[in-house]
Structure 1
């Protein structure tokens, strides 16, 4: 096989659109050119304020969408060779997927592909049950094979330090009127096909919360439903901070999140300490890393949450 066709494109796009994106902005498009599947940025869906400093969040989302597309093609027995940023003359072109040698999917590819439709951000409190050591190893390995690193914070000293950095960044963003106005525009109703519906939002923050939550709604949590006292927080990073590094981070993020989902875990993203430059630098120094943190997230066991909506796959196809 040396060409993909429209059915392959549709399969890849259907998986790709399930990737996470900031505010569920879904900044992707998928096309078929010369027998290759292309993943492209939709600049009209780049967040003008929250991601206006260069498109970091959009590239993370596009990397995650590329990973999903890779999985879908491998699951069908038609794996892809992936080239990121293949054409400097087409800056909107993020990845080109060309057919590799046909083969059956691996067990891991089957499991991760099956997890795509079950993965979504769960912003509710998790149960206090610890994540087993063997699962933590799998998460770290998922990041490593994508060329990135993952640090899992252990102990209250590390968690408290991260909490202070994250809350400080969150306060900076809450004081930004333009930032908050944009966030409100992506806080959708239940009938929206993008944005964060109220049912999927976190409850209103309370003073005892260790980690900050986005202000997507005004729903209050039931009595006795505090967040877990010692959450598992992961910080994923890269050696560099170029466009290519951020796309690699997006693929790694999705690999990690799907690995967590396959293990029965829930997750939610924490981007505030990455969005505020001084906080990001402080986070890097606290980790003792020479690289660049690209995203943080919380992982644990929780009751089922509410997925955010997705646009129909036809809306993400070009031509």
Structure 2
């Protein structure tokens, strides 16, 4: 969420054990009071660790709070290629076989992925706009967003957060769910453009809604995103309506939906978006 990178690692050499823990200093008490998004982020980081270990010929055994893994090495090239794209996507269908592969990716990590039909996609867009309107009326709701966005010269030196060059253009037309990270703050040379009118949206869900489920959701999310990257899909995420307790239950598809929705994905064919910064390894890894 907002590229906060809320994780820390500790390598215990004697036990060949790598510990992953959430970083409470990077929590968002207003947007994520229960640390659900923090757990999802840590789960995504955990999945990348598993992929990297498999790439190095190791056999990773991940224990959550526990769940073993499977061969993952082929996903390794996608880790550096995958970026969030806040640009328009083409009005082009995603083949059913690709959708099936992405659903299978989520299933392998104990989650479900449901591609929405047109009517439910419209409902999701309405919920995103509702969440945006609430933010506009309540300045306190933007506190976390303002903290984790990087404007002007700060964007060029940032090691975390969302720099202005990754905001994407403003939406002039279309219906893609895009959080406007700039708000009312000016961003030089940003421009506006038309987005797709029928975005491809998918709901990532878990059977339960506990911290362990959130970690599973993070791993499933990253697996889906890496598989999508290998399938030449561009991706972006929206958690906006999931951050409000009364809107979140409405995100679930009332007909086909199961479990608890943890993330809304937008997928399509278009630019992959720029890479966003990462903190130096020395800031997140402790060895001993």
Matched with 2:271 is 303
State the alpha-carbon separation in 1 of the partners of residues 24 and 250 from structure 2: 30
Secondary structure (helix, strand or coil) at the match of 2:125 reads helix
Query: What is the RMSD of the two structures over their aligned residues, measured on CA atoms?
Result: 2.1
Spell out the pairing of 1:213-232 with structure 2 (5 A cutoff): 213-217=178-182, 218-219=186-187, 225-232=193-200
State the alpha-carbon separation in 1 of the partners of residues 133 and 64 from structure 2: 35
CA apart distance, 1:290: 4.2
For residues 112-166 of structure 1, give each alpha carbon's deviation from its aligned partner in whole angstroms, at most 9, with x where no partner exists: 1110000111101111222111111100000011111111013x32221221122
TM-score by length of 2: 0.89
Contact preservation (8 Å) 2:176, 2:197: no
CA apart distance, 1:285: 5.1
Matched with 1:58 is 38
Contact preservation (8 Å) 1:190, 1:198: no
CA apart distance, 1:221: 6.1
CA apart distance, 1:178: 1.7
Secondary structure (helix, strand or coil) at the match of 1:84 reads coil
What is the aligned length? Answer: 277
Contact preservation (8 Å) 1:202, 1:214: no
Matched with 1:80 is 60
From 156, 161, 176, the equivalent of 2:138 is 176
Matched with 2:102 is 139
State the alpha-carbon separation in 2 of the partners of residues 291 and 139 from structure 1: 18
Structure 1 residues 165 and 274: CA distance shift in structure 2, 3 A: same
TM-score by length of 1: 0.81
Contact preservation (8 Å) 1:166, 1:212: yes
Matched with 1:278 is 246
For residues 202-257 of structure 1, give each alpha carbon's deviation from its aligned partner in whole angstroms, at most 9, with x where no partner exists: 32344x4413422223457657x411121110110011100000000000000000
State the alpha-carbon separation in 1 of the partners of residues 133 and 206 from structure 2: 26
Higher relative contact order (CA 8 A, sep 6+): 2
Spell out the pairing of 1:1-319 with structure 2 (5 A cutoff): 22-33=1-12, 34-51=15-32, 53-85=33-65, 106=71, 109-154=72-117, 156-188=118-150, 189-206=155-172, 208-217=173-182, 218-219=186-187, 225-284=193-252, 286-319=254-287
CA apart distance, 1:265: 0.8
Structure 1: runs of 5+ lacking an equivalent: 1-21, 87-94
| 163-172 vs 235-244, which moves further | 163-172
Structure 1 residues 287 and 180: CA distance shift in structure 2, 3 A: farther
| 176-185 vs 60-69, which moves further | 176-185
Structure 2: runs of 5+ lacking an equivalent: none
